Amino acid sequence: MSFIWKVFFSSYVLSHWSMRHFFDQMRKIPKPVHIIFCTVDHYEPGTGNASPKVECERVDLLLREFPRLSDAHLDSSGNRARRTWFFPPHYHRLGNLKKLVSLCEKGYGEIELHLHHGKTRPDTAANLEKTIRQCIADYSRFGIFGMENRSKRFGFIHGDWALNNSSGGRFCGVDDETSVLKRTGCYADFTFPSRGRSNPLRINSIFYARSRPGRPKSHRTGKPVRAAGLQEGGLMMIQGPLFPSFNGGGAASLRIVGDRIGMAPMAIRHVDSWVSAGIHVKGRPNWVFVKTHTHGAVDHEAVLGPNMNSILSYLEAEYNDGRNYLLHYATAREAYNIIRAIEAGEAGDNPEAYRNYAVAPPVYDSSPDCREVSFELKRLVFSTYPGP
């Protein structure tokens, strides 16, 4: 990130944060506030040119440790903590995906699509569409992706945060990517925030990004999702929080912090900032969506051990008292469904009623003897992204 961009972006986030908090003081938000907490995992077990042995060990560690973590944490309705693994097809090998599905079969989370492309050469809209459709076909062998109106629907995270060719032509190549995603069944994008140039200018919000044919970064701005409003026709962007943090107390210590739960232990005070970001559907400010992300295969010490345990325990202690706050652990699909229910004007006062509102839950099946990606999908992916 260049110095000029860093100064601009830091100032922009700080001013946006300050203005929002000023207006929050002027209005009364109905109690209780429902906290819909969602962790999306850019799950890449082979990251860092890991050997096949290390790659398999990372997946086995997840299968062993995540149930222990999840079972120890319950929300206001007794749902255990869950995770959404956004899994890229170039790591569909060594039985990785089959193992991950076995975890989902037991109710510990769900799987959505993470895609890297356009690295060795710019991708095209035609190749991208073929890639996504083949990925749906491959993943569907395990029952991955929920259904809406008899069609497969998926959540999406773009590799390298380069959605809509927004990283200066690197790691994508498709300016109008949102249109391709919509055509192939994407229900929402969960890529951001990025803290880089690819990040939307509309921060800390849930909005519809419209396509801009011939121009990159169509998600730069858009119309907010509104309660009892109209679906705007673009791609829904469900963002995590961005907020200023003064680590040393003075102006020179200003840092912009996002939604990542990374390798290093995270300051618990950041949990308060996640909630204070107040990301919500316009017109329903007391249903707050906290989307966090991690790279769980390499950040396993942070997201499978004491650090994540502390985060979840703090949420349950501070944001689940039954009067001022009610906590809801959700997958990416469930969070989207709750948003859709608000948008449709549903009058219920409990998000639990809407977890499966639009997109039905997947029916996972780990029994197929399929340990790696199909030849056709491998060809499509590796035509613009380097293979292992």
The domain locations on the chain are 3-25+37-382
The answer to whether residues 145 and 155 touch, using CB atoms and an 8 Å cutoff, is no
Residue 108, pLDDT score: 98
Segments in 42-86 forming alpha helices (H)? 52-71
Could you give the CA distance from residue 89 to residue 210 in angstroms, rounded to a whole number? 27
Residue 250, pLDDT score: 65
- The fold adopted by the segment(s) 3-25+37-382 is 7-stranded beta/alpha barrel (3.20.110)
Could you give the CA distance from residue 108 to residue 60 in angstroms, rounded to a whole number? 15
User: Per-block average pLDDT, block size 10, for the chain (388 residues)?
Assistant: 78 88 78 98 96 98 98 98 98 98 98 97 97 98 98 98 95 96 98 92 94 90 93 91 80 82 84 95 97 96 94 98 98 98 95 98 97 97 88
Residue 249, pLDDT score: 62
337-259-231 Cα angle (round to 5): 30
Using the structure block, give the residue that is written with the tokens 């210590």: 253
* pTM across the whole model: 0.96
Residue 377, pLDDT score: 98
Residue 210, pLDDT score: 86
